[in-house]
């Protein structure tokens, strides 16, 4: 099969999955596995790859996401335990005494927490820090969890431009410059992006307020009712451990600090946290078994989705189909538009993010576009900056980024709803950052 045909097959695969997800035809795990299997069969039947090779690609893809799946299982269990013991209820009540029914204040707090949490550059850890802390507050004030995700991913996209962030380091390695040097050049765009992220929080806070959030929510300053999460799970009053509040707070803070600073796998950190939390709060195998079973459903559903996404990534990325897709896209750029290449890729970055994973985008598409730009005298750094800044805005709404499923799973939101809510807003944020880059001289078309 020719490279062009492989690229077309890749586009067809991604489009089919996105359509199935947005049309709510099936759950994500089935969509990823089913469509990817059909693609794999086509590749085998056409003699492009052998069954053994496709098996290797799928194995590599699943291995690439298995740590995220394990992270989700044990993070859900850990935060589920913290909900059962009543830790979040007391924290939420304390926060509510500060902000009361101030919906805009809660939205702004979400943005600031996400920015601070993303200083380590890890999408999974930021979701784990921000969403479990804020989701019960949103439910108390009747704010939509899709808004929580939108504010969170906007802040994360901006902060992901730090020099130790994955996309910035990848771009710098392709450009063969230091990531700090690249960051210094794009910093004005990041500063504008931070302002936009804060504006996003305030704007959507007012949107939620207009829709009735915070009004007649039944919240009083001394309200000690259970949180939305606990309400959904049923009456867990027999599981509350008020006497262990400060121990559980210290344990949670310890886990968060380890996520940011300790060089061990994140899933192991949560494994250890679960062990300590269960042994201290719920001694005895019978009670521990009950707690684990009560949180098994959500953990299994999202872990299966993440592993299924690994099958999809293995079929398309490890077979280098995504690289062929990048070459085809680059070939469509007209000669007369060559000098506008940074702007073209900036405008298209958000839609392309839904199709290309991080590695294929920066290691596959970026080198091809740099080669195209060289024919027109375009500065490679300008292409790299346009790609990394504009693409980063949409990183965590992409169905080909495993951390996205962690975020939607923690928030209890369908990925189709997350994409529908966030896509055009994030695209607008991306375009504003690009225009800011032009006005500030970071980008040019000369």
Identify the residue whose tokens are 């290691």: 363
Residue 71: is its pLDDT beyond 50? yes
Ranked by mean pLDDT, the top range of 23-32, 80-89, 401-410 is 401-410
d(C-alpha 159, C-alpha 212), whole Å: 31
* Tokens, residue 297: 């459903």
Share above pLDDT 90 across residues of the chain, in percent, rounded to a whole number = 26
Task: Confirm if 193 and 102 have CB atoms less than 8 A apart.
Answer: no
Task: Confirm if 248 and 278 have CB atoms less than 8 A apart.
Answer: no
Confidence (pLDDT) at 92: 65
Q: Rounded to the nearest 10 degrees, what angle do helices 402-411 and 123-140 cross at?
A: 20
Confidence (pLDDT) at 215: 60
d(C-alpha 403, C-alpha 398), whole Å: 9
What percentage of the chain's residues is helix, strand, coil (to nearest 5)?
A: 80, 0, 20
pLDDT in tens, 50-64: 999 999 999 998 888
pLDDT in tens, 426-437: 999 999 999 999
pLDDT in tens, 263-301: 788 789 889 999 999 999 999 898 899 888 888 877 787
Q: Give DSSP secondary structure letters for 264-324.
A: S-HHHHHHHHHHHHHHHHS-SHHHHHHHHHHTHHHHHHHHHHHHHHHHHHHHHTTTTHHHH
Compute the average pLDDT of residues 219-224: 36
List the domain boundaries for the chain. Answer: 1-212+240-438
User: For the whole model, what pTM was predicted?
Assistant: 0.71
Confidence (pLDDT) at 229: 37
- Residue 410's nearest CA partner among 146, 181, 233 is 146
């Amino acid at each position: 099969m020719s490279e062009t045909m492989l690229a077309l097959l890749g586009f067809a695969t991604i489009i089919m999955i996105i359509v199935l997800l947005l049309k709510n035809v099936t759950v994500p795990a089935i969509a990823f596995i089913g469509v990817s299997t059909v693609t794999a069969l086509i590749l085998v039947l056409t003699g492009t790859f052998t069954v053994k090779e496709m098996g290797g690609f799928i194995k590599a893809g699943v291995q690439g996401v298995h740590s995220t799946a394990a992270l989700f299982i044990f993070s859900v269990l850990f935060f589920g335990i913290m909900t059962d013991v009543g830790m979040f209820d007391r924290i939420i009540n304390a926060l509510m005494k500060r902000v009361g029914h101030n919906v805009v204040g809660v939205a702004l707090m979400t943005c600031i927490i996400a920015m601070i949490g993303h200083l380590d550059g890890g999408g999974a850890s930021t979701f784990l820090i921000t969403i479990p802390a804020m989701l019960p507050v949103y439910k108390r004030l009747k704010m939509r969890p899709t808004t929580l995700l939108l504010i969170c991913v906007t802040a994360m996209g901006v902060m992901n431009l730090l020099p130790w962030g994955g996309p910035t380091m990848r771009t710098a390695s392709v450009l063969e410059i230091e990531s700090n040097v690249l960051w210094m050049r794009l910093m004005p765009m990041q500063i504008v992006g931070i302002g936009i992220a804060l504006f996003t929080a305030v704007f959507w806070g007012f949107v939620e307020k207009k829709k009735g959030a915070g009004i007649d929510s039944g919240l009083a300053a001394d309200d000690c009712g259970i949180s939305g999460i606990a309400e959904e799970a049923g009456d867990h009053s027999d599981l509350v451990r008020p006497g262990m509040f400060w121990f559980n707070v210290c344990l949670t803070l310890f886990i968060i600090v380890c996520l940011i600073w300790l060089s061990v796998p994140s899933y192991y950190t949560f494994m250890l946290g679960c062990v300590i939390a269960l042994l201290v709060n719920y001694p005895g195998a019978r009670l521990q078994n009950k707690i684990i079973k009560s949180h098994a459903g959500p953990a299994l559903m999202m872990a299966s989705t993440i592993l299924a996404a690994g099958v999809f990534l293995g079929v398309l990325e490890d077979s280098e189909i995504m690289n062929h897709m990048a070459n085809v896209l680059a070939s469509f750029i007209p000669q007369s538009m060559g000098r506008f290449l940074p702007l073209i890729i900036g405008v298209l970055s958000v839609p392309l993010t839904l199709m290309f994973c991080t590695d294929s985008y920066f290691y596959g598409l970026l080198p091809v576009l740099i080669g195209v730009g060289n024919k027109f005298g375009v500065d490679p750094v300008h292409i790299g900056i346009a790609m990394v800044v504009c693409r980063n805005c949409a990183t965590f709404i992409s169905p080909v980024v495993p951390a996205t499923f962690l975020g939607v799973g923690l928030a209890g939101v369908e990925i189709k709803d997350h994409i529908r809510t966030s896509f055009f807003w994030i695209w607008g944020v991306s375009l504003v950052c690009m225009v800011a880059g032009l006005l500030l001289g970071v980008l040019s078309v000369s």
